[in-house]
Amino acid sequence: MGKTEKGKSSFFQKNSQLLVPLIALMLLVIFNLIRDPGFFSIELVNDNAGNPVLQGNLISILNGASELAILAMGMTLVTAASGGQDISVGCLAAIAGSVFIKVLKSGPITPWLVLGGVAACCLVAMCFGAFNGTLVSVFRVQPMIATLILFTCGRSIAYWINGGATPTVESDIVKAIGGFIPGFPIPAPILIVVLMGIFFALLFRFTTLSMYLQAVGINNNAARLNGINAVGVKLLAFVLLGLCCAVSGVIATGRLQLVNHETLLINIEMDAILAVAIGGNSLGGGKFKMIGSVIGAYIIQALTVTLYAMKVSSTDVKAYKAVVIILLVVLGSPVVKRWFGSMRNKLAVAGSRKEAA
Amino acid sequence: MKKLVILVLAIALMLVASFAIADGIKVGIINNPPSESGYRAANVLDFETVFSAENGYEVLTYYSLRNDEQLSAARQFINDGVDYLLISAAETTGWDAVLQDAQEAGVTVFLFDRMIDCDPSLYAAAVVSDMAVEGETAVNWLLAQNLEVYNVVHIQGAMGSDAQLGRTGALEAQFEAGTMNKVVQQTATWDEAEAKRIVESVINSGADFNVIYAENDGMARGAVAALDEAGITHGVNGKVIVMGFDCNKWALREVLAGNWNYDGQCSPFQAQVIHEMIQTLENGGEIEGLNEKKQIISVERGFDASEITEDDIATYGLGD
Amino acid sequence: MDNGTVLTMRGISISFPGVKALNRVNFTLREGEIHALMGENGAGKSTLIKVLTGVYAKDEGTIEIAGIPGHITIHSPQEAQRLGISTVYQEITLCPNLTVAENMYIGRGKGMGVPWKKMYREAGALLDSLGIPARPRQLLKTCSLAVQQMVAIARAVDTQCKVLILDEPTSSLDDREVEMLFGLMRDLKARGVGIIFVTHFLDQVYAVSDRITVLRNGELVGEFETAMLPKVELVSKMMGKELEGLADVAPKRDAEEEQAKVYYQAEGLSSTESKPFDFRIREGEVNGFTGLLGSGRSECVRTIFAADRVTGGRVTVEDKPVTINKPIKAMRNGIGYLPEDRKRDGIVADLSVRENIILALQVMKGFFHPFSRKKAEAFADEYIKTLDIKTASTDTPIGSLSGGNQQKVILARWLLTHPRYLILDEPTRGIDIGTKTEIQRLILKLSQETGMSITFISSEIEEMLRTCSRLIVMRDRNIVGELTGDELTQDHVMYTIAGGGN
């Protein structure tokens, strides 16, 4: 008993920043279960191609949040290192998606061509990421201002790439990327999120990236004086975010085998930033927990799916989301945390006094 | 600065054009940029094809989403001495003075695609779509299917846009009359992925529906993706009737394949009509068949899976 | 109040949490006097100024100003201005895009309207009478820094100014410009303005001031007539060492190590922050840079480590020419650097003690070779034990440790890299006496037992005398002397700092 107690408390001490997001997620789940006990039920059905697929609100949440979760991962890195946010991620994803389609349209769609398309759009997006990163790290432009450039012109660039508004492709491989791999009932985007998670876990395990990002974000001077290439670290964060944009762009394109430069992942930059904040990460940079941002992404998606299920008009969804998000961000803010901390101490003191009495 | 660039460009264009052909009919075309949408891309292409040197035209073009830039371009074109001014305005207001100038300078104005709030005497004719008619055509087609019950999932475009208002109107009338049931009515603001999420949530809620009425092709595609993943059949012989608008080529191919049932046209092809009117005027004739707002409503069709042909796709399809 | 006195401050005390910033300080300023306020950093100069300008509220004491009956309390800078106390700060706080006259008058009118004509006329007259070479309609940014500074002064003295405070006004001026400024100060003095002059340039104090008030650790050391106080005595008063008592035993370090191999040598090394200088250190040698704060001693060691951008010079390590233009290169050449400003340059506050300890070694090991958690724990535990670092666990964020323990963590960070040459800039500042001696002992032990070369900088001269076998003395950003052997006494150091002679 004592042992488990200790284990619990140390988990929450180490991961105190996850407390608010986890509780929020739990409340959402409970709310939905009360509203509709079958809300999270999952069915195995056959899709129109005859493959077994899982279906239900839970799948919708996990599947629908994929792009956001991946972008939130990258956004976490940029936030940690630069203390600012990249607002061009949606546009960059649109560019990446357009490059992907452009390559696919260059010939008969074979697995190799798809692979080439993915590689090309990763490369392009990472170059754009490096462009943003250079502005931020070398020229010390505020991240939001630096990325405002691409935010403004990104979707025009996406248009130029294909020269038409909504180019489409017909390909089962592309369809599988955004939908289901035939015979495997879990949506492919969920698998891609897991892969990206593993990628970052390995990156953190086998490089010093996490430590460098945090050191640079917390104290740029000290990091530099300990030999860390602070400029390079920030640049790397933006390049990795570029990679995340490319992957999200490919997923989003794969979902409908179509890229609409105006609407692809539109407004997702704000959700990605919010996911980072909801995950308990400081938007001022420094220490971070990527898993927090991912949870944040799922909270946002769960909220959207819940509101749709309640038949809230999609124009109103944004307003409801805003209310909940403000609440979460305020609850997770240092001011409120300190207040809770002092309350807890007071209660503890009062409790011990009572015991003493 | 920008205006200077425009000026220089316009003069350069003019010089090039005037050397190229000696005495063509001089036309200034003001439109929104092709990147605005697939519709616009087709629209711009249509005008560039019809108003060409081969057809005896000397053409100046200016594309912008901004009204003020369009206005100054129009002034420039009038100064350059165009014979005809063809305008698809970014905004409906603010054009009176320029059109007045055009009239005084003896320039004949045609409006296309979009109306302008001004006195009809200021332009010769306006070639436009009637979105409400598009909606009615679609709803009439739907009624003609004689379903026992109409449970409609209605996915709307950006609220307040002409296309949304027109295409929603006819369907809304049916909801009010009780001939059709509104299962869900949500806006996806032209976003394909959002449309998919909306339909997904309807499927997850277990609600029964047999019609998807999406106000453009992209959103219809999103809806169909959700149906496919849930294993719900659609199209000809399917459980759910799928309806879209705009007639992108890829959408018409879906209709031809029977995956969708209906696609409503929103014609971007106004150039030919205007070309004919200009020829009439040049030959001393009179333009006929205008309504009280001097409009010519583009003929717009709806394509049914049972009737569509490859030729239709080639003729009416947008994009590639 | 005496005749001729414009300002009297008596028994001024002020406390901040945990510190007594000023303790019963007196200060008197007379009409037509330039009065230098001297003291090392943290002596209380700026606190006293801030009490006078209404930024801080004093806890105790009285302030009197000529012409105003009774004791006064100054609540805000605006109120200080009304009472005739004007201040010109080191950083010019004017608007470069406005004209000279606008800068002189803006924000002073009562209503919204500006009588432009009158303003330019009066500004012209004032500039002329003060001999300031600027035209009223000239944009401020087209003036030299010195003239901008003078315009700031003109703005300050414009209204019935009795007391003018100049806070480090010369730090960004060259010699000629300083002379111009002094001319203006003498002018104002002749008009009866009392000037409080805060600076750390000794020569300037002697060039222009009439009296000197010395503060140390928030206490008044005394008020002296400049002509009667030799420079070396001023230095000793600022440092708090009586000349007679200074010659205490400097521990003779074993042998003059001139035979030992030179580990690091620099010729004409300079950075964006430091003038070119020569420097060398032998294996096992402990040497130090000394001089008053702001003399350029920290800048020199920062240049060695390439903490600032290196702009020139030749460097050899173990007689091999090397290029050290970023910290990682210095580290790879066996150099470690414990920075002066722990908070700004040393600690990574939110990271754990463990991560802070392994940081430098980890960086040297490379991006693709992170230490395992186990290895990192082992390193951290080892140095927590060796240096007796008081921390709840290796996971505790370093920011929550006391200053002394933070410093030990940074020290551990560098010791872990096993440097051949370690630079310690003020390692003992702001930490308790016990830890101080521990660090000194460690320095001697490292140099003697492992042959580590160490450069040590401290504001406390005894510390340096106790540990260093060679002292490089700096004044006004130049090396002015090098002391070894018998010369290593406080007297010698102070004479050298004060500019030799006497």
Considering CB atoms only, which of A207, A218, A224 is closest to C367?
A207
Give the CA count within 13 Å in the CB-facing half-sphere of C159: 15
As a CATH number, domain C337-418 is 3.40.50.300
- Partners of B188 on chain A (C-beta within 8 Å) are 314
Q: Could you tell me the two tokens for A226?
A: 């300990």
* B101 interface with A at CB cutoff 8 Å: no
- Dist CA C480 CA C275 (whole Å): 13
Taking the mean position of all CA atoms in its chain, how far away is CA C108? 34
Cβ atoms of B320 and A164 within 8 Å: the answer is yes
Cβ atoms of C2 and C66 within 8 Å: the answer is no
More confident residue, C434 or A323: A323
Contact C350/A286, CB-based, under 8 Å? yes
Residue closest to A120 by CA, chosen among A137, A138, A98, A139: A98
Q: Does the pLDDT at position A281 exceed 60? A: yes
Contact C370/A222, CB-based, under 8 Å? no
Calculate helix-pair angle for A66-82, A209-218, nearest 10 degrees: 50
Report the DSSP beta bridge partners of residue C310. Answer: C271
Q: Which chains does chain B touch, 3 or more C-beta pairs < 8 A?
A: A
In the DSSP assignment, the letter for residue A140 is -
- What percent of chain B is helix, strand and coil (3-state, nearest 5)? 45, 20, 35
Average pLDDT, chain C: 85
- Dist CA C312 CA C324 (whole Å): 10
Q: Does the pLDDT at position B20 exceed 50? A: no
Interface predicted TM-score of the whole assembly (ipTM), two decimals: 0.87
Q: How far apart are the first and last CA of chain A?
A: 27
Instruction: Kindly give the pairing relationship between strand B241-245 and strand B211-214.
Output: parallel
- Dist CA A336 CA B112 (whole Å): 58
- Per-residue pLDDT at A187: 96
Of A319-333, B81-95, C470-484, the one with minimum mean pLDDT is: A319-333
Q: What is the mean pLDDT of residues A58-86?
A: 96
Q: What is the mean pLDDT of residues A183-204?
A: 96
Nearest-by-CA chain A residue for B185 = A313
* DSSP string over C345-375: II--TTSBHHHHHHHHHHHHH-TT-PPPHHH
- Dist CA B156 CA B190 (whole Å): 8
Q: What is the mean pLDDT of residues C137-144?
A: 84
Task: Assign C42 a pLDDT band (cuts: 50, 70, 90).
Answer: low
Considering CB atoms only, which of C355, C364, C368 is closest to A227?
C364
- Dist CA A5 CA A13 (whole Å): 12
Environment class of C377 (CB within 10 Å of its CB; exposed 0-12, middle 13-18, buried 19+): middle
In the DSSP assignment, the letter for residue C426 is S
- Tell me the per-residue pLDDT of C207-261, one tens digit each, with 9 for 90 and over: 999 999 999 888 899 999 999 888 888 888 887 765 443 333 334 444 455 578 8
- Tell me the per-residue pLDDT of A158-169, one tens digit each, with 9 for 90 and over: 988 987 668 899
Task: Assign A8 a pLDDT band (cuts: 50, 70, 90).
Answer: very low
Contact A206/C331, CB-based, under 8 Å? no
Considering CB atoms only, which of A165, A262, A311 is closest to B41?
A165
Has domain B131-266+302-316 been given CATH number 3.50.70.10?
Answer: no
Q: Does the pLDDT at position B8 exceed 90? A: no
* A218 interface with C at CB cutoff 8 Å: yes
Share of chain C above pLDDT 90, in %: 35
Share of chain A above pLDDT 90, in %: 71
Q: What is the largest CA-CA distance in chain C?
A: 77
Cβ atoms of C230 and C284 within 8 Å: the answer is no
Of A28-37, A298-307, B8-17, B82-91, the one with minimum mean pLDDT is: B8-17
More confident residue, C293 or B192: B192
Coil, strand or helix at B186: strand
- Per-residue pLDDT at C114: 66
- Dist CA A51 CA A185 (whole Å): 8
- Per-residue pLDDT at A32: 93
Cβ atoms of A249 and A100 within 8 Å: the answer is yes
Instruction: Kindly give the pairing relationship between strand A43-46 and strand A52-55.
Output: antiparallel
Long-range contacts of A301-306 (CB under 8 A, 24+ apart): A301/A61, A301/A62, A301/A64, A301/A65, A301/A68, A302/A25, A302/A28, A302/A29, A302/A61, A302/A65, A303/A28, A304/A64, A304/B197, A305/A57, A305/A60, A305/A61, A305/A64, A305/B197, A305/B201, A305/B204, A306/A28, A306/A31, A306/A32
Q: How far apart are the first and last CA of chain B?
A: 37
Residue C199 backbone phi and psi in degrees, to 5: -160, 165
Q: What are the extents of the domains in chain C?
A: 5-229, 261-334+420-427+450-502, 337-418
Taking the mean position of all CA atoms in its chain, how far away is CA A160? 27
The CATH class of B2-129+268-288 is: alpha beta
Q: Does the pLDDT at position B180 exceed 70? A: yes
Tokens 């000809």 -> residue: B236
- Dist CA A152 CA A144 (whole Å): 12
Residue B211: count of CB within 10 angstroms of its CB: 23
Task: Assign A336 a pLDDT band (cuts: 50, 70, 90).
Answer: confident
More confident residue, B259 or C177: B259
- Chains C and B make contact, 3+ CB pairs within 8 Å: no
- Tell me the per-residue pLDDT of B152-161, one tens digit each, with 9 for 90 and over: 999 999 888 8
State the alpha helices, DSSP H only, in B144-216. Answer: 162-177, 192-205
Report the DSSP beta bridge partners of residue C454. Answer: C286, C422
Q: What is the mean pLDDT of residues C270-284?
A: 92
Q: What is the mean pLDDT of residues B107-119?
A: 91
Cβ atoms of B173 and B203 within 8 Å: the answer is no
Radius of gyration of chain C (CA): 26
Of B157-166, C252-261, C371-380, the one with minimum mean pLDDT is: C252-261
Provide the sign of the torsion angle of the four alpha carbons B203, B205, B207, B213, taken in this order: negative
- Per-residue pLDDT at B240: 97
- Per-residue pLDDT at C17: 65
More confident residue, C57 or C363: C363
Q: Does the pLDDT at position A226 exceed 90? A: yes
More confident residue, A349 or A122: A122
- One-letter amino acid of C389: I
Q: Does the pLDDT at position A248 exceed 90? A: yes
Tokens 């002679």 -> residue: C501
- Tell me the per-residue pLDDT of C54-96, one tens digit each, with 9 for 90 and over: 888 888 899 988 888 888 888 888 888 888 888 887 666 778 8
Question: Do C337-418 and C5-229 have the same topology in CATH?
Answer: yes
Q: Which residues of C, range 359-378, sit inside 8 Å of A by Cβ?
A: 359-360, 362-364, 366-370
Average pLDDT, chain B: 89
Residue closest to A121 by CA, chosen among A283, A287, A247: A247
As a CATH number, domain C261-334+420-427+450-502 is 3.40.50.300
- Per-residue pLDDT at C255: 42
- Partners of A258 on chain B (C-beta within 8 Å) are 192, 218, 221, 250
Residue B187: count of CB within 10 angstroms of its CB: 24
- Partners of A57 on chain B (C-beta within 8 Å) are 201, 204
Report the DSSP beta bridge partners of residue C492. Answer: none
Question: How far off is chain A from B41, nearest CA to CA, in Å?
Answer: 7
* A228 interface with C at CB cutoff 8 Å: yes
Nearest-by-CA chain A residue for B188 = A314
Residue closest to A40 by CA, chosen among A25, A51, A50, A52: A25
- Dist CA A308 CA A320 (whole Å): 11
Q: What is the mean pLDDT of residues A308-322?
A: 87
* DSSP string over B261-279: SEEE------HHHHHHHHH
- Dist CA B232 CA A167 (whole Å): 26
Q: Does the pLDDT at position A13 exceed 80? A: no
Q: Give the best residue of C348, C351, C424 to mutate against chain A (max A CB count within 10 A).
A: C348
Q: Which residues of A, range 169-188, sit inside 8 Å of B by Cβ?
A: 179-180
- Dist CA B253 CA B99 (whole Å): 42
Cβ atoms of B256 and A206 within 8 Å: the answer is no
- Dist CA B205 CA A308 (whole Å): 10
- Dist CA A274 CA B271 (whole Å): 47
- One-letter amino acid of B115: M
Q: Could you tell me the two tokens for A344?
A: 């807890």
Q: What is the pTM of this model?
A: 0.78
Q: What is the mean pLDDT of residues C36-41?
A: 82
Coil, strand or helix at C160: coil
Tokens 């003095």 -> residue: C189
Residue closest to C418 by CA, chosen among C332, C321, C354: C332
Q: Could you tell me the two tokens for B45?
A: 């292409």
More confident residue, A320 or A347: A320
Q: What are the extents of the domains in chain B?
A: 2-129+268-288, 131-266+302-316
Share of chain B above pLDDT 70, in %: 93
Cβ atoms of A297 and A275 within 8 Å: the answer is yes
Q: What are the extents of the domains in chain A?
A: 50-269
As a CATH number, domain C5-229 is 3.40.50.300
- What percent of chain A is helix, strand and coil (3-state, nearest 5)? 75, 5, 25
